[in-house]
Structures are given as structure tokens and as C-alpha cells.
Amino acid sequence: MVDLHITSLSRSAQVAYQDLLRLHLEETASGLIGSVEARHRNGRTYLYDRFRIGTQMKSHYLGEDTPDLRDRLASAARLKTEAEERSKGMSRLARLLRAEGMITTDRETGSLLLAFARAGVFRLGGTLVGTAAYSLYQGELGVRFDTDDLAQTGDIDFASFERLSVSLGDRVEEDPGDILKTLKFDPVPGVFDRQIWKWRQSSGAAMVEFLTPAFGEEVVKPLPALGVSAQALHYLNYLIADPIHAVALYRSGVLIQIPRPERFAIHKLIVADRRSGGTDQGKSIKDRGQAAFLIAVLAQDRPDDLAEAYADALSRGPRWRHRLTSSLSKMPETGDILSTLVK
């Protein structure tokens, strides 16, 4: 049973985190080189920075079209002039958050996230998932996590949609495989097709894996925009739909992408039931603990978002409902919370 005692971060820490996130988003928009071009696919609109290099026209993917992104891009010229002031502000806010007791990202994970961010992994649809993502909800939700809750399993997982990766028409500036090699990770070829979708740390237990939603068989698929292959998994499409930006507290912060907390919580209930016995039993307990804590927080602060995410999962069929019911049978308090939200 997880301790559901919830302690909020101070008001100053919550404001500082949101300010730090805003500055990082502005920093990204300030890099606009040419003109903004909109492209429409499957009912969604994606924005690109279109510019000329010599006699060639280049396109740089910026993100899905939203009013906030449009506003930042419209202010790109002004944001360029504020680069030095913005950099100082980021450093100051990061120091304040550390002083307020927000748990930082460890050096190994932080350096990896920074390198991936610079290469464009998150800009091109990559989403950090797993415990590494869970730790970042402290800023998003304004709550204090216990250090035991954030103990890493040794895995750092990234996920992206194959269809999005194929259709973007853009690519990372440096392959994740090359970055991981520099950081002393070795590729782990697949048993059957030798495709590489995970890397193991040379001197340690850390593992980096790339995942993608399965629409059919759980096989290895390419993610062209990220320059990697990825293991397809069922239920992952639910987790990484409509991700959010977050800042990992490493140096002056690293802007990344993580799942919505309500989807993360419900997905953890499903994953916990999918795990088999043996070594997976401990991971299953941890999954349920993370789900219970997030659901307790969200039921207080964002009940509508939580209710919508839970109802969405329940509506996806009997297999989804079975997984959720099975996990919640071991978590009566969490089950009671969710039952009051969805009638």
C-alpha cells in the first residue's frame, strides 16, 4: 500500500517551475529562422519553419499547431533579443527550485536528456515515459515526491508514434544511437531480426529503450524522424496521445515531452496487470504505487481530466476493462476514488 499523504510544493516553487517552463518554450520559439508554414494531415495541423539555405528550401518541424505556439512564434523576433536575459532567468529559477527542495534529475539521465533535446528527439515527437517521466510530475502538479518514489528501475524509455515519425519529413540532427555510444551505451541487437531498439550502459545496469504503439502485432518498427527502431507495444497509443511539455531540473533545465499525468496514471494500472511474476512482480507493485499517488493528487486538483482519461480507457473494450479491474482489485482506495468520478 502506497502512502497517499500529499504535500504540496511551496507557492513560490510552483510559480518558479511554470516560469521556467515558459522561458524554455520561448527559447525554442526564438530559434525561428524563416517563415511559418502550416501542413495538414489526418485532421491535424503541423507547423514548420521554412527557410532557404543557398538554392535549397529547408523545412524544420516546430510542433502541432496550437494558439500558444502561434503566439510564441509571432514574438520570435523579440524573443531573439531577450536571449541573454532569458538565460540568466533560467539559471536563477533552477537555483530557486533546488533551494525549494525539488528533486533534480541525476547527472547521467540529465546529460542524456540534454543531448536528446539538442538533437531534436522531443521536438520530433519523442516522449519520455516510465519512472523518468513520473519524476517530472512534481513540477507539473506542484507536489512533493518522496525520494523512494523516484528510485529508478535502470530503464529510460522513449516512445513515439510510427505514423507521425514517417509523415513529419524531418529528422534528428544527431542519431540517438551515436549519442548513446558517446555516453557509453552499447546497442543490444534483437534476437530475431537484429534491429536495435535498446541500448545497455557499458558500466552499469541502465537501459535505454525506444517504444511505439502497436496496432496489430507487437513487433519492431522504424521511427525515421528519430533515426531509431522501436518495439511496438499495445496500450501505448493511449499513453502518449496529446503529450505535454515539462522541464527536467538538470543545469538550467531541459525542455522535454512527457505523457499527460492522468493518462500516465491510468496506463500504469494497465501495465501493472500485464506484468508476469518473478522480477516483474516488484515493477508491478511500483506501477500501482505510482498510479495510486497520481490518482489521489489528480482527484483533488484535476478531477475532470482524470475522469475523462478513465472513461476513455474503459470505453476501449473488454480487455482494457479487465486489466483495470484486475489492478484496482488490489487497490480498493484507488478504486473507490475512480468509481466516484465515473458513474
Q: Is the predicted pLDDT of residue 332 greater than 70, yes or no? A: yes
The yes-or-no verdict on residue 281 having pLDDT over 80 is: no
Of the pLDDT bands very low, low, confident and very high (cuts 50, 70, 90), residue 190 is low
Residues 183 and 46: beta-carbon distance below 8 Å: no
pLDDT for residue 298: 97
Whether 297 and 143 have beta carbons less than 8 Å apart is answered as yes
Q: Tell me the mean pLDDT in the region 143-154.
A: 68
- The angle subtended at Cα 211 by Cα 209 and Cα 213, nearest 5°, is 170
d(CA 85, CA 23): 10
Q: What is the pTM (predicted TM-score) of this model?
A: 0.93
> Could you tell me the three cell numbers for 28?
525554442
- List beta partners, residue 155: 207
pLDDT of residue 279: 58
Lowest average pLDDT, out of 108-117, 165-174, 200-209, 275-284, goes to 275-284
Give strand pairing partners of 233. Answer: 213
- Indicate if the pLDDT at residue 230 is higher than 80: yes
pLDDT > 90: percent of the chain: 80
Residue 205 — very low, low, confident or very high, per pLDDT cuts 50/70/90? confident
Q: What is the pLDDT of residues 303-323, one digit of tens each?
A: 999 999 999 999 999 999 999
Return the pLDDT at 1.
43
Q: Residue 324 — pLDDT band, cuts 50, 70, 90?
A: very high
* Banded pLDDT at 152 (limits 50, 70, 90): low
CA pair distance 338, 306, nearest whole angstrom: 8
- Give the model's pLDDT for residue 2: 46
Does 151 score more than 60 pLDDT?
A: no
In the predicted model, is pLDDT for residue 106 greater than 60? Answer: yes
- 152 vs 254, more confident: 254
